[in-house]
Structure 1
Amino acid sequence: MASSVAKTLARIRGSVEAGAYYEAQQMYKTSYHRSKARKQLSDAIQILQEGAVTQLSYGQTTCGVELGMLLVETYTSTDTPADEASVARLLAIIHAFPPPSRAGGEAAAGSAAGQGSAAAVVDECARLVATAVKWALKCGAAAGARSMHSAFAAYLWKSLGAEGFGRALQHFVRSDDAQTFAEALHSCAQSGPAAEVDLWLLRALLQVLAAASSPSSRAAQLAHARAVSRAFCQLSGPLDTPTSHFAELLLLALEHAGQSPRAHAMFQLARERYSDEVLRRDESLGPMLERVEVGFFNVRRGNGALGGLLGDLFKSLTEAH
């Protein structure tokens, strides 16, 4: 970065520290456009990143998100590749998101006004994450998109706790952070009936698997589901219930989907075997399971018989339980 740009950023930061947030925002944008006009793209990009992080660190969500959105727009218009460096800049902005309760000096959390303000803060942050993820995926950087989902899911969980888990879930299922996901999932499960802990895990696994939107994402979602299952069981202890057995058989069938033509039959038999005692526990399980079947096997319900290694494996597992 040119020394003149560094001095400019230091001066603008002084304005932010003095509480002149709007004036600082205009200065950031002016400096960005000047650098870009001079073909100094790296300086322009650095200005946007530092400006966004600085504004967010002072609770100025709208200002920070605006600069972050301009950064993604610049990436798009200049055909910037979604490499490690460009994704890292966006991750730095996401990691700087302020807790909803203090963003912009909003009303204290707990009051009606505070709750409304918290929702507005999260909405602003979500808008930037959605745009950044879309850009990364369009550039073919699935790993980068996952890392951004992970960062935002962790932010939502840390900021909102169990009340925000539903919103964090849509990012957790597309993330690469199985440990934090499992910890959040286990924490929520512990607040409910002990008999439903296994149901929390099965629902989450199906949501992860159902999020596989393309052939290229199936392997990643399946690996994520397996990692979440393993991490969850490390927290809860071994689960020995029909629901946990069904979850394990489901993962086994999907892990063999690309290796054996009998994998689909195994999937179907597991569904039939546990239809009454597992799938009827929650009406959302059936539709999610069908979506998983279509996504991984590219077929609707069909007939098939198990045999060979997979058949023996299924038989031994079901007889043991």
Structure 2
Amino acid sequence: MSRSLSLNMRSASRRDLPPPQKTIERFEKMVEGGSYYEAQQMFKSTSARYITCQRYSEGLDILQSGATVQLKHGQVTCGAELAVLFVDTLVKGQFPYNEQTFDRVRKIYEAFPRINMPHFLGDDYDDDGQKLSEAISAAKVRSEGCSSFLRAALRWSAEFGTSRNGSPDLHVMLGEYIYSESPETDMTKVASHFVRGNDPKKFASMLVNFMGKCYPGEDDTAIARGVLMYLSLGNLRDANLLMDGMKEQLKSADLEFPKTNLIEFIKYLLQTLERDAYTLFRTLRQKYRTSTDRDTVFEELLDEIAAKFYGVRQQNPLEGLFGEMFKV
């Protein structure tokens, strides 16, 4: 087959594909009628035809519709798969990260079901092991599905946006969803997304909420971890905003900020980093080492803080846990 004939056939095929709206409406009715798997296959195969013909915008319309309607009907596995394909199409079509494309990702994100899992399970679950098992399984499916979608979106935003770490808004979304939906909340992972986000006030609200649910002694560790992560990125401003936001919200709720040696260290550290005082920084680390030894990652974060603020870099600052936590 000659190259010109092949191009003519592709052009004809591009013209033969109809506007997708009626097709979308038909597939949505299939979902509403309970034919979830059949509709899933139709959304996938039909969008692939448009994408093959490089009609990416129409392929995106089909995939966004499919993801949203499946998620709204509680079909998380089907919806998450279509959501990831939506992001793959953004990459194939080389769509830039901007307000319009972010809004489309946000609408899919908002369609993911939210049925909060309690961090501590109450009496309602004690007599029904099956109910507990089902709740945990459903929470894992929701968390893993949404996380896969948002991680893909972060990679796309890093490639086609202005932030090499991915969109700050998407990081906040992912941190928020992991916190609210994961049956076993990994606060290190949650914090690693919030500190690359743009909403320290929301991060403060989440930590205040966590203080009311966590075991004794976990609250100051979570606060210190968030502050140190901000500082390891050289972000003194948001580290201070996080602390100020927590103080303000706790005061409004007539609650007290934790009073521990670790929190005392964090307060002194924030003051020290306002000036050129590396000797004082070293003295603080030595004096409060017993407190900072409570979390294995704190020493690595403090090494990176020394590099960012005082130019003192350790031999391998990004090895170990610190490097892992900041991977998209």
Q: Could you say whether these structures have the same fold, taking a TM-score greater than 0.5 normalized by the shorter chain as the test?
A: yes
Deviation at 1:22, TM superposition (A): 1.5
Whole-angstrom CA distance in 2 between matches of 1:110 and 1:145 = 37
Structure 2: gaps (5+ residues)? 1-16, 118-127, 315-328
SS for the counterpart of 2:20 is helix
User: In 2, distance between residues paired with 1:141 and 1:108?
Assistant: 48
CA distance in 2: counterparts of 1:283 and 1:40, whole angstroms: 50
* Kept after mapping to 2: 8 A contact 1:136/1:144: yes
Match of 2:191 among 149, 166, 169: 169
> Which 10-residue stretch deviates more, 143-152 or 62-71?
143-152
- Percent identity of equivalent pairs: 28
State whether structure 2 residue 282 is matched by structure 1 residue 250.
no
Change in Cα spacing, 1:180 to 1:3, as seen in structure 2 (3 Å) is farther
Question: Which amino acid counterpart does residue 147 of structure 1 have in structure 2?
Answer: D
Q: Paired residue for 2:224, among 202, 220, 223?
A: 202
What letter matches 2:33 in structure 1? A
User: Structure 1 pair 34/203, CA: closer, same or farther in 2 (3 Å)?
Assistant: closer
Q: Assess if the C-alpha contact under 8 Å between 1:146 and 1:174 holds in 2.
A: yes
| Correspondence 1:189 to 2:204 | no
In 2, the alpha carbon distance for the partners of 1:291 and 1:26 equals 48
CA distance in 2, matches of 1:136, 1:254: 32
Tell me, yes or no, if structure 1 residue 299 matches structure 2 residue 299. Answer: no
Question: Shift in Å at residue 285 of structure 1?
Answer: 3.1
> Does the Cα contact within 8 Å between 2:27 and 2:39 map onto a contact in 1?
yes
Query: Equivalent of 2:42, from 5, 21, 27?
Result: 27
Give the match's secondary structure for 1:175. coil
Amino acid at match of 1:58: H
Write the letter of the residue equivalent to 1:139. F
Aligned equivalents of 1:179, 1:29: Cα separation in 2: 39
Deviation at 1:205, TM superposition (A): 1.0
Which secondary structure state, in structure 1, belongs to the residue aligned with residue 167 of structure 2?
helix
Q: Is the 2:71–2:113 contact (alpha carbons within 8 Å) kept by the matching residues of 1? A: yes
Question: 1:116 corresponds to which residue?
Answer: 137
Q: Secondary structure at the match of 2:102?
A: helix
Counting only pairs closer than 5 Å after superposition, residues 94-173 of structure 1 correspond to structure 2 as 94-99=109-114, 110-142=131-163, 145-160=167-182, 163-164=184-185, 166=187, 167-173=189-195
SS for the counterpart of 1:99 is coil
**Greater fraction helix:** 1
Counterpart residue number, 1:313: none
Normalising by the residue count of structure 1, what TM-score does the alignment of the two structures yield?
A: 0.73
Deviations 1:131-160 (A, max 9, x none): 211221223433862211211222233335
Q: 1:199 and 1:140 mapped to 2: Cα distance?
A: 33
Tell me if structure 2 keeps the 8 A contact 1:82–1:144: no
> Which ranges of structure 1 fall in alignment gaps of 5 or more residues?
213-217, 257-261, 302-321
Q: Does 1:231 align with 2:245?
A: yes
Number of matched pairs: 281
- Distance change (3 Å), C-alpha of 1:141 and 1:61: farther
| Matched letter for residue 133 of structure 1 | L
